[in-house]
Amino acid sequence: MADHYIMNFNTRDLPRYESDYVILGSGIAGFFSALLAGRLGASVTVLTKQTILDSNTDKAQGGIAAAMDTEDSPELHYQDTLRAGAGLCDRGAVRILVNEGPRRVLQLMDLGARFDVEGGRLALTREGAHSCRRILHACGDATGAEIQRVLNEQALAEKNIEVLERHFAVDLLVRDNVCYGVLAYDYSKGELKVFRSRAVILATGGLGQLYAHSTNPEVATGDGIAMAYRAGAEVMDMEFLQFHPTVLDLPGAPRFLISEAARGEGAILRNGREERFMPRYHELAELAPRDVVVRAILEEMQKDPRGGVYLDLRHLDPELVLHRFPNINRTCLGYGLDITRDMIPVAPAAHYMMGGVKTNYFGETNIERLYACGEVACQGVHGANRLASNSLLDGLVFGGRIVERTAGIWREQMPAWTDFASELPEPGESVDNLAIQEQLQSLMSIYVGPLRDRQGLEKVLEFIDGYAYLENTAAGTPQGAELRNRLLVSRLVAETALMRTESRGGHYRKDYPRPRNSWLKHIILRK
């Protein structure tokens, strides 16, 4: 295509706003970065696609991993993260995560986050592939909601931060490899706006909604990765997507995450014959890495398609269960399940993207003045498979490092402005965005899910190729723009999955079922 924009516009005709930072996203990575910058004296504009509650942070249940206990250490956390990452973790990034993590968690507590306490000490739980109890949690199983509550309150009260909800970031304004700002669509006014800044921070989260079943909110459609890639940013490890093993699987009920902390407290997985099966698949049984548990569940389902798989908490102390998992209990009760007496039907669902926009250890991309942190970013800290509860920590640590790296940027002169414009032809025929989206979600779930092979991946790419003409036409609506993002990011995932002819971590090829030493490397794509 002639340029990297997907909607027609001319900045001379649009309302223009200026701030030191424009931050896209209001989850833990976006709001923590905004708070640090705002309190240093910078002016910050936060754009969020819908509301400040529509984030993966708000939905996180299990907790946040950090070596806060005297019996734990950053070194143990480091080793656990490397093991889970299946040989592809960037060791420098992991060192930063585990060593700076406790300080960032303390900062979060200073902001007002209230984590659960027992006997005057932080109450810690254990999750899959962790060698000890190091997961801080809040309100039992509502850790993310507590963190989001604190960040929302603090960000909305900070005089240097302006939060604009229902502003959909459409494209980055980039020329000669310098990012000058963002083009965004204001849903409330039905118009495009220009947000000019000294630095743009992508914190747009993941892409779970590319799949039919996901733990992610509806806004998680890979927009940040798509706009960065269009603008010339490098993306890395796009084939590595994590599927959560235990998501509520009831006909007619929306998918709902059943926290890994349930298995950390002793819940076990059973098949339709009520047999415990995980010890047959891994020495850590239910606490094996997530990719192992997912494949085990799928194999049990294949053996007995009508039997299903269940998470069983019935043998645990009911008082403990209700105290630790009030949110899960309340949700399941709404569907007639008493988790102290009934097994919970579960199945895997799309959960977390290990790959994303490639950055260094300070969130810098290959585009000047464009930064990325949180799930949209990839500095290699998670490798091929993220260790449970490292995601919230990732957003804190690398979001904080961006602000420290750019401290004082607001004293620099604003980059000289030149206008931007796009004139793309309109599509020659009407496009049913929703129908294409649903077809794409179905194909991604079947062929680019936890189990993949060449034939299936090529089917998905052939489907996407059928809509390649959209790349050279203008999206007249935000829905049309989002569809283009979905198609682009789905292509990036499928293409890299096709390239990697091995199985490793969250990427499993049925036609190449083993890891290969020759693939101890990253796939980096740039437009």
- Distance, in Å, from the CA atom of 291 to the CA atom of 506, rounded to the nearest integer, reads 6
Backbone φ and ψ of 342, nearest 5°? -115, 145
- Identify whether the C-beta of residue 140 lies closer than 8 Å to the C-beta of residue 264: no
- Distance, in Å, from the CA atom of 77 to the CA atom of 443, rounded to the nearest integer, reads 37
- Please give the pLDDT value at position 414: 86
Residue from 184, 219, 179 nearest 198 by CA: 179
- Report the DSSP pairing between strands 191-202 and 16-24: parallel
Long-range contacts, 480-483 (Cβ 8 Å, 24+): 480/431, 480/433, 481/6, 481/7, 481/168, 481/170, 481/185, 482/168, 482/221, 482/223, 482/433, 483/431, 483/433, 483/436, 483/437
| Residue 9 CB-half CA count within 13 A | 27
Residue 40 Cα distances to 219, 306, 403, 510, angstroms: 30, 58, 9, 51
- What is residue 286's DSSP assignment? G
- Report the DSSP pairing between strands 241-248 and 344-353: antiparallel
Q: Residue 369, Cβ neighbours under 10 Å: how many?
A: 21
- Distance, in Å, from the CA atom of 484 to the CA atom of 168, rounded to the nearest integer, reads 14
Indicate the helix (H) or strand (E) that contains 81: helix 74-84
- Distance, in Å, from the CA atom of 340 to the CA atom of 333, rounded to the nearest integer, reads 10
**Is the four-CA dihedral 204, 207, 210, 214 of positive or negative sign?**
negative
Provide the token pair at 27.
């989850």
- Please give the pLDDT value at position 1: 35
Residue from 212, 203, 253 nearest 357 by CA: 203
- Report the DSSP pairing between strands 161-164 and 44-47: parallel
Bridge partners of 235? 357, 525
Boundaries of every domain in the chain: 247-348, 425-525
Provide the token pair at 50.
């819908």
- What is residue 387's DSSP assignment? P
- What pTM does this model have? 0.95
- Please give the pLDDT value at position 413: 85
Residue from 178, 182, 206 nearest 55 by CA: 206
- Distance, in Å, from the CA atom of 61 to the CA atom of 389, rounded to the nearest integer, reads 9
- Please give the pLDDT value at position 3: 63
- Report the DSSP pairing between strands 44-47 and 16-24: parallel
Which residues belong to the active site?
290
Q: How far is CA 14 from the centre of its chain?
A: 32
pLDDT averages per 10-residue partition of the chain, 527 residues: 80 97 97 97 97 83 90 96 96 98 96 92 89 91 90 96 98 96 97 97 97 94 98 98 94 88 93 96 92 94 93 96 92 94 96 97 98 98 95 97 94 88 86 96 97 98 95 92 98 98 97 97 97
- What is residue 474's DSSP assignment? -
* 425-525 CATH: 1.20.58.100
- Identify whether the C-beta of residue 162 lies closer than 8 Å to the C-beta of residue 45: yes
* 247-348 CATH: 3.90.700.10
- Distance, in Å, from the CA atom of 231 to the CA atom of 108, rounded to the nearest integer, reads 33
Provide the token pair at 485.
């993002």
Length of the chain as a residue count = 527
Q: What is the longest distance spanned by two Cα atoms in the chain?
A: 68
